[in-house]
Amino acid sequence: MGIKKIVLVGPYLKEVFDIEVKFFEAYGIKVIYVNYPERGLGPIAEYWDCDKDLYGPYKWVLNAADKAPDADAIFVSCMASSILDICLQLEEVVKKPVISSQSALFYGILKFLQIPDAIPAYGRALTRPRL
């Protein structure tokens, strides 16, 4: 996808995000902004309860996109969230790929299984060729 600079969004503590930043940067992807909960929009319980309401994570992604307009993509880190359901809508608003932990995992699984079919409802990552 040509991604070189990303924003990280999620409900994690700084120590967890620091590990993710090192991982991405080891693969040549620069993390230019991290939306730490303490720098975000409020307590995690209020804004990251995806089972009840996706508006909180939606706002976190928009906030992070505003803070780092030069990012090539936004990575939403949290396997327990339902953010995958709104990645496509978020991409339409922020005009760049929004990749969730789930979409990255599904991409890898589909590639491993050699299933090339695009899955259009969940953002750009799952519409890309995988073979």
The domain locations on the chain are 5-100
- What's the topology of domain 5-100? Rossmann fold (3.40.50)
How wide is the angle at C-alpha 121 spanned by C-alphas 120 and 127, nearest 5°? 25
Model confidence, pTM: 0.86
37 touches 49 (CB < 8 A): no
User: pLDDT in tens for each of the 131 residues of the chain?
Assistant: 899 999 999 888 888 899 999 999 999 999 999 987 655 444 555 555 555 667 777 888 899 999 999 999 999 988 877 788 888 999 999 999 999 999 999 999 999 999 999 998 889 889 988 77
